[in-house]
């Protein structure tokens, strides 16, 4: 007969295989983003007579987006800790905060895309803009997926409390969310910051 | 709670690195691009980005060589290898294509420019 400790350990071991599998998926996602970065690097000066990054981007705006996403990654980590401790209220508050920050980030990004497109600087304008929209847009699509996932987890845990596989799933969700912040580090550096320097 | 402490330190370090990067670029723009050289800016921004990557991997993703063998780190090292091949391979190939007449708005290149660029000395 298993006591509670052994049962928890066994579950944690089973968890670790699934979580590792998810980690391997993240590695492939990493390669995906690398191809989009490579494409952007090749096409960054192909502005086809149109505007370059310098003319389009705002440093303050990107800093705001970056701080929002970084804070959401932080609150996500704390949310996972709360879940590990079985603290449902704290988990929901922190995950809720993560969600709101992520949503704000997405809102700002969509607004930037809209402004660019409305001015005629859509992905059709030049190779540079095609690469920009694809890279940043793919990141935004991942953020959207993460937000949906968060919504699902929070809804279920709000209604029924933690369940057997909560922790495993929340671990994978927070890996996903941290990964997206890491990709963003390179987006804001390579696309925006270096865009101002070149 | 040492776990919370871990996240707080990671968050704080990431903030510092982020502000440093943005501050450098802000100063660069402010000085009308005369303050630092482009090469310095590129190296600094790259180093800052990689540092923040390591900070976040360590503090947020708990990626350290604590358990051996650490398959997380191993698979990440492999992915990194693929990434390096793809990124630098693409840049190298596309740079090389500049000298062939592949594109319409490619500037024409003289032999002398190619020799100098590719470091070929006769």
* d(C-alpha A170, C-alpha A80), whole Å: 7
Give yes or no for residue B28 having a pLDDT over 60: yes
pLDDT tens series, chain A, 198 aa: 545 556 555 555 578 899 999 999 999 999 999 999 999 999 999 998 899 999 999 999 999 999 999 999 999 999 999 999 999 999 999 999 999 999 999 999 999 999 999 999 999 999 999 999 999 999 999 999 999 999 999 999 999 999 999 999 999 999 999 999 999 999 999 999 999 998
Give yes or no for residue B1 having a pLDDT over 70: no
* d(C-alpha B41, C-alpha B28), whole Å: 8
- Whose CA is closest to A129, among A112, A107, A142? A112
* d(C-alpha A149, C-alpha A42), whole Å: 34
Q: Look at A181 and B82 and tell me if their CB atoms are within 8 Å.
A: no
* d(C-alpha A1, C-alpha A99), whole Å: 41
> What does the DSSP 8-state code read for residue B108?
P
With beta carbons under 8 A apart, name residues in chain B contacting A62: 22
* d(C-alpha A90, C-alpha B36), whole Å: 46
Q: What is the pLDDT of residue A13?
A: 57
> Which residues of A lie closer than 8 Å to B, measured between beta carbons?
20, 23-24, 27-28, 30-31, 34-35, 37-39, 41-42, 48, 59, 62-63, 66-67, 70-71, 73-74, 77-78, 81, 175, 178-179, 181-182, 185-186, 189-190, 193-194, 196-198
Q: Look at A70 and B79 and tell me if their CB atoms are within 8 Å.
A: no
Q: Look at A24 and B75 and tell me if their CB atoms are within 8 Å.
A: yes
B100 phi-psi bin (left φ>0, alpha ψ -120 to 50, beta other): beta
Q: Are A129 and A122 in contact (CB under 8 A)?
A: yes
> A30-34, A146-150, B26-30, B114-118: which has the minimum mean pLDDT?
B114-118
* d(C-alpha B112, C-alpha B3), whole Å: 60
**Mean predicted lDDT score pLDDT of chain B:** 85
DSSP SS3 for A148:
helix
The residue of chain B nearest to residue A72, with distances taken between CA atoms, is: B11
* d(C-alpha B62, C-alpha A23), whole Å: 13
With beta carbons under 8 A apart, name residues in chain B contacting A74: 7, 10-11, 60
Q: What is the pLDDT of residue B115?
A: 75
Q: What is the 3-state secondary structure (H, E, C) of A14-54?
A: HHHHHHHHHHHHHHHHHHHHHHHHHHHHHHCCCCCCCCCHH
- Whose CA is closest to A23, among B53, B86, B73? B73
Would you say the pTM of this structure is higher than 0.90? no
Q: What is the 3-state secondary structure (H, E, C) of A155-170?
A: HHHHHHCCCCCHHHHH
More confident residue, A166 or B109: A166
């Amino acid at each position: 007969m298993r006591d509670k400790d052994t049962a928890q350990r066994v579950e944690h071991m089973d968890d670790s295989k699934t979580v590792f599998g998810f980690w391997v998926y993240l590695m492939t996602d990493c390669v995906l983003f690398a191809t989009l970065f490579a494409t952007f690097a090749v096409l960054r000066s192909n502005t086809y007579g149109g505007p370059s990054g310098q003319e389009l981007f705002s440093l303050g705006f990107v800093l705001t987006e970056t701080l929002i996403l970084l804070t959401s990654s932080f609150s996500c980590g704390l949310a996972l800790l709360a879940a590990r401790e079985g603290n449902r209220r704290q988990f929901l508050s922190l995950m809720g905060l993560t969600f709101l920050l992520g949503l704000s980030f997405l809102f700002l990004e969509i607004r930037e895309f809209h402004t660019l497109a409305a001015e005629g600087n859509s992905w059709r304008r030049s190779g540079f803009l095609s690469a920009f929209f694809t890279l940043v847009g793919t990141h935004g699509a991942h953020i959207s997926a993460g937000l949906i996932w968060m919504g699902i987890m929070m809804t279920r845990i709000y209604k029924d409390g933690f369940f057997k596989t909560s922790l495993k799933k929340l671990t994978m969700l927070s890996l996903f969310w941290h990964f997206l912040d890491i990709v963003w580090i390179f987006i804001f550096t390579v696309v925006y910051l270096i865009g101002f320097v070149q | 709670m040492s776990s919370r402490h871990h996240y707080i330190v990671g968050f704080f370090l990431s903030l510092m690195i982020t502000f440093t990067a943005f501050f450098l670029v802000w100063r660069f723009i402010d000085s009308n691009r005369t303050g630092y050289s482009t090469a310095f800016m590129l190296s600094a921004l790259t180093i800052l980005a990689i540092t923040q990557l390591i900070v976040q991997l360590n503090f947020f993703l708990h990626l350290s060589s604590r358990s051996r063998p650490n398959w997380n780190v191993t698979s990440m090292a492999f992915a990194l290898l693929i990434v390096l091949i793809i990124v630098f391979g693409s840049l190298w190939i596309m740079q090389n294509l500049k000298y062939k007449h592949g594109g319409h708005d490619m500037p024409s290149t003289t032999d002398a420019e190619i020799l100098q660029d590719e470091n070929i000395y006769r």
